[in-house]
Amino acid sequence: MKIAIIGAGISGLSCALALERHGIYCDIYERKHTIGNLFPFGEIILQIMTRPCKDPLDFFKKFGLVLRPLNEITRIVIKSPTRKVEIRGRLGYIFERGQGKNSIENQLAQQIKSKIFFNVNANYEDLKKSYDYVVIATGNEMAAKQLTEWESVVSARVKGGILLGDFEPHSVYVWFDRSYAKSGFAYLVPLSNKKASLILVATYTLKEEIEDLWQTFLFRESLKYKMIETFETELESGMIKEHQVGNVYLVGNAGGFLEPAFGFGLANSIKTSFYCADSIVKGGNYDGKVKDVLKGIEKMVELRKEIDNMRDEDYDRLLRIIGNPFIKGLIYKTNFNIMKHMPFFIKLIKKPGQ
């Protein structure tokens, strides 16, 4: 069985690893010269996103993956224009992304034996003629738009940077403020006690706008750290009609599996890649296997629509509510699936008439 995978990111490498466990080795085509994102950043996986798994690392173990985080998250500080709430507990983990030896991408690459061809801008139309199956794991929606119907849910410009300073390595900071993030958000994730990644996700923003929004963000939040590098990219989340077209499979972000409310993609990338491998090996229905992932995404689409209509005073009200000891305990100290009910919860906290 000949299988080509386009993209040596988390989705592509996870799929290759899953196939290798069945004795199938792939050809992986990567357009860059190396493994990992061109820019480094910290990615978080939160316990509230992996429920009913009580420990996010157990989620990886379900797929036989052992991935080493940089640190455990024991404190999250969330800020709105006039309020701040602090959450403490075993909240999740911080992972390194990028080209560093401890990045998730390189951790996965070290576990596979399939050959990776670098500096190759592979075309699925050409590959599907000479391979039994082609897996598209490019991390973007371009192929999906060509292969099937694509419905955009949210688009954003992303600006980030690496900061030097003094950081508490177990603490993550999140900001909601429409003056610079619109209906998006910003977050700081420590990579060590001396380095952190800072990212602004500004929804429905033009390329020409992002620098002004970035500077507004830094000024309003008094972020005066030394910045040693910056990056900028765009992000689009959407839903597609088919995830398998002939002998071509779409996994991870390329398959529209990016969660549209807060942009979490790690868990879905791994899930769909393993589902894809299972479908190829056993001849199953891939679109049927990913239904559980799509059900969760549909709920997050509802949440994204509610967030898009929130005002700054709604963010303030939300933080006041989740700062209540009872609500805080329900969300963070139980295994209650709060994400499933978040769209309804957001509706409740909005002012009448919105």
| Distance separating alpha carbons of residues 14 and 202, to the nearest angstrom | 29
pLDDT of residue 350: 73
Side-chain-side CA neighbours of residue 61 (13 Å): 7
Phi, psi of 156 (to 5 degrees): -155, 155
How far, in Å, CA of 200 to CA of 190, rounded? Answer: 15
Question: What three-state secondary structure class fits 232?
Answer: strand
Can you tell me which residue has the tokens 């798994």?
53
Supply the pLDDT for residue 39.
85
Residue whose C-alpha is closest to residue 56's, from 10, 18, 94, 19: 94
Does residue 71 contact residue 93 with C-beta atoms inside 8 Å?
yes
pLDDT, residue 30, reads 97
| Residues whose CB is less than 8 angstroms from the CB of residue 252 and which lie 6 or more positions away in sequence, other chains included | 9, 10, 11, 12, 137, 139, 258, 265, 268, 269, 272, 273
- Do 81 and 74 form a contact (C-beta atoms < 8 A)? no
127-173 residue pLDDT tens: 999 999 999 999 999 999 999 999 999 999 999 999 999 999 999 99
72 forms bridges with which residues in the sheet?
A: 93
Residue with token string 């891939």: 286
Give the C-alpha separation, 206 to 235, whole Å: 12
Q: Strand order in 185-190's β-sheet?
A: 41-46, 84-97, 71-79, 171-175, 185-190, 195-203, 150-164, 226-240
Ranges under pLDDT 50 in the chain: none
CA 328 to centroid of chain Cα atoms: 24
Backbone angles phi, psi at 68, to 5 degrees: -95, 120
pLDDT of residue 352: 55
> What is the pLDDT, as a whole number, of residue 351?
61
What pLDDT is attached to residue 328? 82
Q: For residue 169, which amino acid is it?
A: P
What 3-state class would DSSP assign to 227? strand
Q: What is the pLDDT of residue 353?
A: 52
Do residues 118 and 125 lie in contact, with contact meaning Cβ atoms separated by under 8 Å? no
Distance CA 162, CA 125 (A): 38
Question: Rounded distance, CA 35 to CA 162, Å?
Answer: 19
Strand runs (DSSP E) across the chain, as ranges?
Answer: 3-6, 27-29, 41-46, 71-79, 84-97, 115-117, 133-136, 150-164, 171-175, 185-190, 195-203, 226-240, 244-245, 248-250
DSSP β-bridge partners for residue 86: 77
Question: CA 296 to CA 277: how far, in whole Å?
Answer: 21
Strands across the sheet containing 244-245: 115-117, 27-29, 3-6, 133-136, 248-250, 244-245
Q: Is 254 exposed, middle or buried (0-12, 13-18, 19+ CB in 10 A)?
A: buried
| pLDDT value for 347 | 83
Look at residue 343 in the predicted model and tell me its pLDDT: 83
